[in-house]
Homo-oligomer: A and B are copies of this chain.
Amino acid sequence: MSELKNTSPTSPPAKRSAKASRQNDPCSVARALNDVGDWWSLLIVRQAMYGTRRYGDFQKQLGIAKNILCDRLTRLVNNEVLKKVDIGEHGQRFEYRLTEKGKDLFPVLVALRQWGDKWNREDGDAPVRLVDRRLGLPVQRIQVLDEEGQPLTVSDVLSFNLPEIVAE
């Protein structure tokens, strides 16, 4: 009953933009960016991880234009990062919740956050410490690990200085 009735007819002329054209990019990084590769989408996901669920709250907390928010929420729902749930008592009133796919972006957000904390720290700012509930201790630094659990750098895995060994 609470259908997304307005998706087709009312959405803008539905262009084939660069974003659409990457839909089938063979590289999964490109396909991931197709889902969440713009500024607002990832911030919306971040906000959803903080507990925000309502349109109006996203709008106020992010300071995003309403039409852009609409567009991004719809896109995130279409990409199954969020689901739109009708929580109305006698009609419709919506919530946008993270799906499993959306929750699974957690390591991406943590990696980005840690990178920002390390390289773009504002002078006075202490980095926000993510603390897990069970132990009450900060989470570990996120890393790429080999089979034996040793941390790996890009040079250990990719050919960033050996152009002839290209992974793709």
Contact = CB atoms under 8 A, between A and B. Distances in A.
For the complex formed by this chain, how many copies does it contain in all?
2
B47 A166 contact: no
Interface in A1-37: 1-4, 7-12, 18-19, 22, 24, 26-35, 37
A70 interface: no
A48 to B, nearest CB: 7
Given A10-B62, A132-B152, 10 more contacts: A10-B43, A27-B116, A28-B112, A29-B42, A33-B42, A50-B159, A50-B168, A51-B160, A130-B158, A131-B168
Contact of A144 (B1, B7, B110): B110
Interface of A: 1-4, 7-12, 18-19, 22, 24, 26-35, 37-39, 42-43, 46-53, 60-63, 80, 98, 101, 103-122, 125, 127-135, 137-140, 142-149, 152-168
